[in-house]
Amino acid sequence: MAGEFDLESLVHVEQTFYDTGFKDGFAHGRIHGLIEGRALGREKGFEMWEELGFYEGFAKTWRSMLLGSPQRQGSERIAQHINHLLELISKFPRTNPSSTSVTGDAGEELDISKLQRQIRSRYKVLCSCIGVRPRLQAISEGAGTNEEVDEIDQSGMDIDANITAGGSSIPVWKIDKATGRRSAVTNQDLNY
């Protein structure tokens, strides 16, 4: 009887030590998680929005150019491309949708990578209309260009349907998706 009591008490005391350690570790781990996550999010946000911003600045400057010469041949078509491109960019989230999707409209899920592909090919179409070389980034990162352009041209005005339809793929980029490796979070990697 006394032996059983000892064992139980021992287990309990081990658990208490463990729990105390866990609580402290958890608090410290959170600090590191926030710091590391912030660093990653900064990089990713910069990378994505530098590209989108480029297209935005590009399109708006050309639009301003066209406004000064509305009679030019083909300018109407170019203006249409510009408006499409800007419309797509305006749909791109400036915050990671994972944080807002909890409260946001569940029916309206964004397919980020699809939207990004659409923006890139729309930009390339605009470039060829104007007759300038597209930025290197857009060429190298958009494989299968023709196919995508076709897809866009078919969808035409129906862009909204395309964006909201993507329910199968992951609508937000999670940390492990952004980095491509989950193994980053292991005991070996942590200093404490």
Window contacting another protein (CB under 8 A); options: 52-60, 106-114, 139-147, 157-165: 52-60
Window contacting another protein (CB under 8 A); options: 94-102, 109-117, 144-152, 153-161: 94-102
Per-residue x/- mask for another protein, residues 110 to 149, rule CB under 8 A? Answer: --------------------xxxx-x--------------
Window contacting another protein (CB under 8 A); options: 1-9, 102-110, 145-153, 155-163: 1-9
| Residue choice 87, 150, 153, 189 for contact with another protein (CB under 8 A) | 189
CA distance 38 to 177: 15
Q: Of the two residues 149 and 172, which places its CB atom closer to another protein in the complex?
A: 172
| 3-class SS letters over the chain | CHHHHHHHHHHHHHHHHHHHHHHHHHHHHHHHHHHHHHHHHHHHHHHHHHHHHHHHHHHHHHHHHHHHCCCCCCHHHHHHHHHHHHHHHHHCCCCCHHHHCCCCCCCCCCCHHHHHHHHHHHHHHHHHHHCCCCCHHHHHHCCCHHHHHHHHHHHCCCHHHHHHHCCCCCCCCCHHHHHCCHHHCCHHHCCC
Q: Which of residues 60-79 bind another protein (CB under 8 A)?
A: 60-65, 68-69, 72
170 contributes a contact to another protein by CB under 8 A? no
Window contacting another protein (CB under 8 A); options: 13-21, 79-87, 143-151, 161-169: 13-21
| Residue choice 1, 83, 86, 95 for contact with another protein (CB under 8 A) | 95
